[in-house]
Amino acid sequence: MAEYNLPLPAMGESIAEATIIRWLKKEGDSIKKDDLLVEIATDKVDSEISSPVNGILKKKLFSPNEVAKVGNTIAILETEEKLKKIPVEDEKDETMEENKKRFYSPLVRTIAHKERVSFYELETIEGTGEKGRVTKKDILKYIQKNKMIRSKYSDIFLSCNNHKNNMVESEETVEMDRIRKITAEHMINSKNISAHVTSFVEADVTNIVKWREKMKDSFQKNTGEKLTLMSVFVECVVKAIKDLPMINISVNGTNIIKKRNIHIGLATALPNGNLIVPVIKHADSYNLGGLIKIINDLIKRAKSNQLKPEETQGGTYTISNIGSFGNLFGTPIIHQPQVAIMAIGLIQKKLSIIETPEGDFIGIRHKIYLSHSYDHRVIDGVLGGGFAKKVALYLEKFNCYTKI
């Protein structure tokens, strides 16, 4: 019998670890190739790992709620097949080097591991070393800052508990689930990292609404797909990014990283109230029909917890549809390490002044607010506000006779 070291596989750019949720097989169980062995969770999405071989689950090396790094052996399988043992540590180092956007010294990585600082968080720390590298001082400062934030909120909760006996017993304390804790941490980190500014623009989307009303029934009958307006919003955002590519960047220390690819994230509310951001990779390569199909697929699988980890990674710009909650506008928080995010508000019918060559007149139009939050460290109002206006202009120029 040969032993096979089952590693935690690479799951996409910047994912360096995962939490073991539960094992689906017991030690001693017979395993067939492609059988699901274990459920894992990254900081974005839950998924499963299947067996690449036939054999027996000899030993589990990680227990539920323990964190494994990419490349770590998480289980040993016994198999009759002749297999070479995977050099786990070498594979781990290669994976980490491939995924890293900048170098981290052994000391910094040791501190990060000890203090449970994820690779995603490391990427957001502003480095003061040579070429923007993160120094020991940088990571210790980051850790101390986060501890102070957590301590602040702990003091608030403690103060509330001290008054518990004076309150009517009509409250229930519910611990945040894992995704909510991670989301909360990311939101606080983003506010600490980026200087948030938000600009608002109103757009006339009457042509788009009329187009959808005219096309939706025949489109669904012919394709089986629901015709939503998000595809048009994504298309207009992509056009605006091509016109103003400095929106499609990230920041590393004092360096600005220009992104050649346009990967659009779609903030999606899950049935349990949590948030996930599936990503349309190379969004500029799709026509309108292609965008409709991929958006419907991503959102459907997001809500049924069927996304792959890599489908939530690599976004360069994010859109949030707050209009689906009946909201007019808002101040969305930037999804790090991106530098901007747009919220799409509720479409409303309004009395408006319509300008024509024959003169002005009043009519009923469908209007929408775009809320554009951007990082004032690298984006000023002329670009941040100008980008929002550019998207609005593309929306207003949409041809209601467009064929899909």
Task: State yes or no: is 43 an active-site residue.
Answer: no
State the pairing for strand pair 317-320/340-344: parallel
Question: For the chain, first and last CA: distance in Å?
Answer: 58
Q: Work out whether the CA dihedral 104, 314, 180, 307 comes out positive or negative.
A: negative
Measured CA to CA in angstroms, residue 400 lies from 214, 215, 309, 404 at distances of: 9, 10, 37, 11
Contacts by 324-327, CB closer than 8 A, 24 or more apart: 324/269, 325/269
Q: Please report, to the nearest 10 degrees, the dihedral formed by the alpha carbons of residues 161, 165, 171, 172 taken in order.
A: 60
Q: Work out whether the CA dihedral 381, 383, 386, 390 comes out positive or negative.
A: negative
Task: State yes or no: is 376 an active-site residue.
Answer: yes
Measured CA to CA in angstroms, residue 94 lies from 10, 69, 87, 213 at distances of: 11, 13, 11, 52
Catalytic residue among 90, 93, 217, 380: 380
Q: What number of residues does the chain have?
A: 404
State the pairing for strand pair 17-23/36-41: antiparallel
d(CA 102, CA 100): 5
Residue 333 near residue 343, CB atoms below 8 Å? no
Measured CA to CA in angstroms, residue 235 lies from 84, 290, 371 at distances of: 48, 11, 17
Quick one: DSSP state of residue 12?
A: S
Q: Please report, to the nearest 10 degrees, the dihedral formed by the alpha carbons of residues 13, 15, 20, 22 taken in order.
A: -40
**DSSP string for 85-135:** PP-HHHHHHHHHHHH-SS---HHHHHHHHHTT--HHHHHHSPP-SGGGPPP
Positions annotated as catalytic residues are: 376, 380
